[in-house]
A and B are shown apart, each in its own frame.
Chain A
Amino acid sequence: MQIKEKLTKIVGAENVSDDPEVLLSYSKDCSLSAPRMPNYVARPKNTDEVHGVVRLANENGIPVVPASSGIHFYGNTIPNLGGIVLDLRRMNKILEVDLYNKMVRVEPGVTWGQLQSEAAKHKMMGLCPLLPHPLKSVLTSHLEREPMLIPKFEYAGSLVTMEAVLPEGEVFRTGSACVPGFPDKSMAEGVNPGGPGYLSYNWLIQGAQGTMGVVTWAKVKMAPRPKIDKTLFIPFESLEDAIQLVYNVQRRMIGEECLIINSVNLAAILTKKWPQDYNNLRRILTPWTVILVLGGGWRRPEEKIEYEEDGLREAAAELHIPALPTSLPGLPGIERELPGMLRTAWPEKKTYWKFADKGACQDVFFYTTLNRTPDFVQVMNQVAAENGYCIDDIGIYIQPMEYGRSCHFECSFPYNPDDTDEVAMIRNLYAEAAETAMDMGGYFSRPYGVVVDMVYDKAASYTTALKKVKQLLDPNNIMSPGRLCF
């Protein structure tokens, strides 16, 4: 039997394709990564079918590349060596809303909009990254360890347990979800990420970009949705000052969503009418804005906001910050709108904010500590200028993590994807920016594209150990071969 027939037997004829037109859409994404056609696309609807496909692939040495979102930004679902793309979007059920443990169990195809509207019914919210694309999978946001907007330590480690089909075809559940009878007949509720035993499979599979197995569901943390909110937009001319405020506020463990954003990104997010609003906003916004949402908790919400405002005023007074505005010039009512915006996906009908200016965008992102971010801004500007990129167009987003202990630094370079010269320049700029940031100590925990080789060349001991683990879990190297250091 041919592979296609075998796949058809597993997932049904309507869910297998080798039609070149269909395959073409899986061969490329929104990144600068080189396209590569898969041989097949299979669209399973449950774990059994995923299991069937992975076993088939393992027996025949065919690469399998899982894909959960309807859009990809970093080239990490392009089948570098061909094979089967496993499109998991049909698996889009919210399997369990676990209100006791403040968690939700989702299949890979569940999107942020879908999750957040379900969570809101229960007065909860998923822990969301910054304005995810409407087609973005919740599961992969967590799996890829995307930074979340609320920098509370207690929300860290947000992917708690998962079910994965391992490369050799075993269906395996991580942490306490491994117990027999889970979830309906067990005492355990799948909330301990460690184990089973002395290893954390949960960690080995996260950040693996599909190289360690196919995740078929994940249990992730949610948070209680504040009953009322108060949004502050605190303007800054200098990033150094913005950072000091964030340190001060986070040290007091105050607030919900908290981020630092430059005028380019903020304008792109808040623009309603392109391009006039955008240009206008870029002109009137200060270079940096700290967005801080104070959330009234489940009980006595007004009083909670009141004490948080008090703490915030103290934090600001220490730094001689004169005012704590709750609005933005030219955008009446935005303070009421923003918390809702930040707690769901970008609207389907609007062009995605990162693409609205020029049609495409290349991001360079890494972890660092807040006090080092001004140096990174300076260097990113320098590298951009040297490459002929207009530094006024660079978007910067700084996400404090865990009470300001560190931060995600994201530098976005919007560009015109139809202009071949500009694309070539961006390609070069991207590589140089990443390399420079890395030399300065920027930590690329999630390497993509050209950054991958830079990272694994540098992290020599880690690379050796990682390869050993991969060899044990995936001896035939069928899971997303050619990705990371595998």
Chain B
Amino acid sequence: MSIPREAYQTLQSIVGTEWVSDDPAICEADRYCSLSSPSEEKRRPGCSIEPVSTEEVQAIVKVANRYKLPFVVTSTYYSAGTYCRKDDSILIDLKRMNKLEIDEENLYAIVEPGVVFSALQADLFKRGLCTFVPGCGGHASVVANTVNMGDAPLGWRYGLGYQRLLGVEWVLPDGEMLKMGSLSMSKDYFWGEGPGPDLRGLLRGCAGHQSRMGIITKIGVKVFPFVSEELEPEGWAFRSFIKLPPNRFKWYNIRFYSREDAINAMFELGRCEIALVVMTVPPIFRGVARTRGVGCGGFWEFWKDAGPKLNPKQMDLRVLLYGIGSDKRLEYEEKVLLDIVKEYGGSPREAPCRDETNFMAADAICANVVGGRFSSEVSYESINQAVRYSKVVDKITDEHRPPILQEYNSTDWVCPYELGYIAKMECLRMASVEDNYALQEWKNDCQDACAKGGAYALVPDNKVFGPIWGNYPEKEDKIRAAFDPNHVSAPG
């Protein structure tokens, strides 16, 4: 099977012959356009195409509809779940669409899908502004990340992706154009909602639709006030960092001797509205950071000694104090932090005034460094839910260990956002390649426990959660049928 000749020629006429290819070598490479494990499910695309404008994207989608060819879209290839699941798919790669505009005065940027966080951040720093950089790294597409996920520790001040989304230009699955927010009525991207009911509700829920509802060709994203001092980069990956101006920033690592104390301190930090980053530090993350550049063997060597010494009752917080706006602010924040730490019996330790992951990071994602396979149970809900649910996950993990590797229940990460109005919980678990099945079984058990205990998991299994969460899959199916009548947008 292959893409009909006529359809292929039309695609060529849209983007030019050099920007579309059905060469098996290229298509085979694009079969693995996502980070997830190789699997039978991943089909080689029928062709791979790189449009440069919204008009080209729209024309391609119309061709897909005319010939009923499935399409899958990628901006920067870092998604775990997106790949062609059907034969003769068109893989639409948006990296050539990389225009970027910044409205410095009014704190927003207009980005096309090929713009990555590092590029945006570098331009913002020049203007005394800042954006969020996701935990997966500065090489991710701002568009793809914001509409699908958008989380990282800077979310303590900058929220999750959905909070930063403004006007949106969207090629729907049938090729029709939808413009949202202020863009619906003018050329401005500065406002996101409405008019009237907010159709950004079709774009993403807890996470995004992962290519199953057409293609976003441009968005406005909020950016944030920042300090005017320059941030100087130093070193080379894996040992690169940014030097933070010490009159504006101060890192603290704080050890609490009970989880309750750490959590209460976190709530109190939220009430006091201080800091730029607040999160727990899973010891295994620290282990990974310490063993950068030495490979997974080096990590496990280190962990063999460090892991068993962990005290499961302890919890460490990492806090980045933020002296924006006034020379005395940092001093104030420090006093408040230390008051809180004292009240909850923590031991504070000042950490070097530099940053490796939050502002620029090209190498932030460290999970794969430990080798083998990993899986994680992730949830965005309250800090309280994070604490309760991670305990449940820990218990389930013990039942699957071995073959799940010993991480001494030390991976449970609580990262609150928006001054604590919402929080991420991530419990990472690892196994060797041949024990991958154990992670799947563990995941199933977690999902069952989540359903029974009324927790809110990020990636719910529709069969388990559909009937108890208001039959949401049926509603999604109806919406998709209305907007994608030919069922071409990333089916399967």
Contacts and interface: CB of A to CB of B under 8 A. Distances in A.
Interface of A: 100-103, 145, 153-154, 156-157, 160, 170, 172-173, 175-176, 178-182, 185-189, 191-209, 211-212, 221, 224, 247, 250-254, 297-300, 303-304, 306-308, 310-311, 314, 367-371, 402-406, 438, 441, 443-447, 455-456, 458-459, 461-462, 464-466, 468-469, 471-472, 484-485
B105 interface: yes
B197 A469 contact: yes
Counting chain B CB atoms within 10 Å of each CB, the highest count among A205, A300, A462 belongs to A462
B421 A102 contact: yes
Given A192-B381, A194-B205, A406-B191, A178 B470 contact: yes
A424 B80 CA distance: 61
A208 B197 contact: yes
B198 A207 contact: yes
Given A196-B472, A200-B200, A206-B197, A186 B422 contact: no
Nearest to B335: A300
Contact of A403 (B107, B212, B326): B107
Interface in B196-213: 196-210, 212-213
Given A178-B472, A253-B225, A196 B465 contact: yes
Contact of B383 (A100, A160, A314, A367): A100
A464 B170 CA distance: 14
Contact of B105 (A145, A247, A314, A472): A247
Contacts of A195: 205-206, 456, 469, 472
Given A194-B162, A299-B272, A189 B382 contact: yes
Interface string B331-371: 11001100110000000000000000000000000000000
Contact of B421 (A103, A182, A306): A103
Counting chain B CB atoms within 10 Å of each CB, the highest count among A200, A455, A472 belongs to A200
Interface in B437-461: 451, 453-456, 460
B482 A468 contact: yes
Counting chain A CB atoms within 10 Å of each CB, the highest count among B200, B336, B469 belongs to B469
B107 A405 contact: yes
B196 A187 contact: no
Nearest to A250: B225
B191 A367 contact: yes
A188 B326 contact: no
Interface string B172-196: 1000111111101110101101111
Nearest to B158: A153
A466 B199 contact: yes
Given A458-B185, A461-B179, A252 B106 contact: no
Contacts of A405: 106-108, 190, 222
Contacts of A471: 482
Given A153-B158, A154-B421, A447-B195, A198 B208 contact: yes
A371 B106 contact: yes
A371 B107 CA distance: 12
Interface in B366-396: 380-385, 388-389, 392
Given A196-B465, A198-B476, A445-B193, A189 B272 contact: no
Contacts of B99: none
Contacts of B201: 199-204
Interface in B98-153: 103, 105-108, 128
B453 to A, nearest CB: 5
A205 to B, nearest CB: 7
A208 B199 CA distance: 11
Interface in B463-492: 465, 468-470, 472-473, 475-476, 478-479, 482-483
A203 B198 contact: yes
B163 interface: yes
Nearest to A176: B456
A198 B469 CA distance: 13
Contacts of A209: 196
Nearest to B331: A307
B473 to A, nearest CB: 7
B454 A181 contact: yes
B326 A314 contact: yes
Contacts of A170: 470
Contact of A199 (B177, B462, B476): B476
B179 A462 contact: yes
B177 A455 contact: no
B420 A311 contact: no
Given A304-B332, A459-B195, A472-B479, A298 B421 contact: no
Interface string B254-292: 000000000000011011111000000000000000000
Given A188-B385, A189-B385, A197-B462, 10 more contacts: A100-B267, A101-B421, A160-B421, A179-B454, A192-B381, A251-B225, A251-B325, A304-B332, A367-B182, A445-B194
Counting chain A CB atoms within 10 Å of each CB, the highest count among B159, B193, B483 belongs to B193
B327 interface: yes
Given A404-B107, A455-B195, A100 B384 contact: yes
B207 A461 contact: no
B198 A204 contact: yes
Contacts of A371: 105-106
B106 A253 contact: no
B408 interface: no
B469 A205 contact: no
B198 to A, nearest CB: 4
